[in-house]
């Protein structure tokens, strides 16, 4: 990579830290002095946990500068406030791997959005415990890794996925209706870096066959939930949810069908917001600076 390529003119900063006086002033001053102007900024203080969250997009007012220099300059402020932070080029594309089983609707939606240029990510690979989606994925010129799972090889298969993620510098694993439960080893290794789509409006209908549960309970709306993956199945921090109206006439199979549209768009939004650095973890919840 050449020196030039490290010069940035638009950068996005995300940070969280315990709330103290002067954070915004310190951040704004520092970047103003570095020649960067705020284009868009959101802040939030969790008044219960006294934690402060911020996402700011800066643009250079005096020409592009080396990203490394800005990071160095910011380090003093970040350390003073004991911040968790990230600073990167707005145009850097998040690198994602998508895991899928036999159902391809979420995968298809991500691939199609990506191909038409509306999902600002690099899709590094698709991994699956089935071969069903190979053809579709390869049509999009994305590598397809068939990694079958059995009770015997589960640890090994997970290790393979983690290796791929490490080797390829992957930012996010997207479980696009991947029907395997990850081990706690895996969820620990990917904390804050794995998003799952669950096909219900959590916390209702956790676990298997949520649309059949929804049918049995007779609910009048069904939904889907994108959340970070944690050790506790379907209990991770929620990123996005949406619902559609249904009625007594809808058989479980129709709920499944209606649900596919909801799952696809909810997961699509979560991945886009992750790529845009709009999602900040806050304990078992999320701060999402969107809309």
Q: Is 259 in the site for a copy of itself (CB under 8 A)?
A: no
Q: Nearest approach, Cβ of 218 to a copy of itself (angstroms)?
A: 3
Contact with a copy of itself (CB under 8 A) among 2, 4, 5, 21: 21
Site for a copy of itself in 173-202 (CB under 8 A): 201-202
Task: Take residue 269 and report the two structure tokens written for it.
Answer: 């939004």
CB 270 within 8 A of CB 226: yes
Contact assessment for residue 193 and residue 271, using Cβ atoms and an 8 Å cutoff: no
With contacts defined by CB under 8 A, name the span among 68-76, 166-174, 189-197, 240-248 that binds a copy of itself: 240-248
Draw the binding track, 74-93, toward a copy of itself (x: CB under 8 A; -: no contact).
--------------------
3-state SS, residue 45: strand
Query: Distance (Å, rounded) from C-alpha 134 to C-alpha 267?
Result: 21
**By C-alpha distance, which of 74, 56, 71, 64 is closest to 5?**
64
Residue 140 CA to its chain's centroid (Å) = 21
In DSSP terms, 162 is beta-bridged to none
171 included as an active-site residue: no
Question: Per the residue annotation, which of 122, 234, 242, 261 is the catalytic one?
Answer: 234
State yes or no: residue 232 binds a copy of itself (CB under 8 A): no
By rule CB under 8 A, what string of x and - marks binding of each residue 95-134 to a copy of itself? --------xxx--xx--xx--x-x----------------
Write down the least CB distance from residue 152 to a copy of itself, Å.
31
Q: Answer yes or no whether residue 288 interacts with a copy of itself by CB under 8 A.
A: yes
Closest approach of Cβ 170 to a copy of itself, in Å? 24
What are the beta bridge partners of residue 12?
57, 88
| List of residues 6+ apart from 75 with CB closer than 8 A | none
Look at the chain and count its residues.
291
CB of 191 to a copy of itself, least distance (A): 16
Provide the annotated active-site residues: 234
């Amino acid at each position: 990579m050449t020196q030039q390529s490290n010069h940035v003119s638009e950068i996005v900063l995300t940070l969280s830290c315990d709330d103290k006086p002067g954070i915004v002033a310190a951040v704004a001053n520092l970047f103003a002095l570095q020649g960067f102007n705020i284009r868009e900024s959101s802040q939030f203080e969790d008044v219960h946990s006294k934690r402060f969250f911020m996402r700011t997009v800066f643009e250079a007012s005096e020409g592009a500068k080396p990203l490394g220099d800005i990071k160095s300059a910011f380090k003093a402020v970040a350390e003073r406030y004991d911040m968790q932070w990230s600073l990167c080029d707005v145009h850097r594309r998040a690198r994602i791997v998508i895991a899928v089983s036999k159902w391809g609707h979420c995968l298809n939606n991500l691939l199609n959005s990506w191909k038409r240029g509306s999902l600002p990510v690099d899709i590094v690979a698709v991994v699956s415990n089935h071969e069903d989606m190979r053809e579709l994925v390869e049509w999009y010129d994305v590598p397809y890794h068939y990694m079958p799972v059995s009770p015997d090889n589960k640890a090994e298969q997970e290790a393979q996925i983690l290796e791929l993620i490490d080797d390829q510098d992957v930012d996010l694993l997207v479980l696009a209706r991947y029907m395997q439960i990850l081990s706690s080893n895996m969820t620990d290794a990917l904390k804050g870096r794995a998003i799952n789509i669950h096909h219900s409006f959590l916390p209702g209908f956790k676990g298997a066959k949520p649309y059949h549960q929804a049918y049995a309970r007779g609910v009048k709306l069904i939904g889907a939930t994108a959340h970070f993956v944690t050790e506790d199945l379907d209990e991770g921090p929620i990123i996005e949810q949406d619902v559609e109206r249904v009625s007594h006439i809808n058989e479980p199979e129709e709920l499944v069908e209606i649900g596919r549209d909801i799952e696809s768009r909810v997961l699509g939004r979560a991945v886009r917001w992750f790529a845009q650095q709009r999602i900040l973890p806050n304990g078992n919840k999320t701060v999402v600076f969107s809309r």
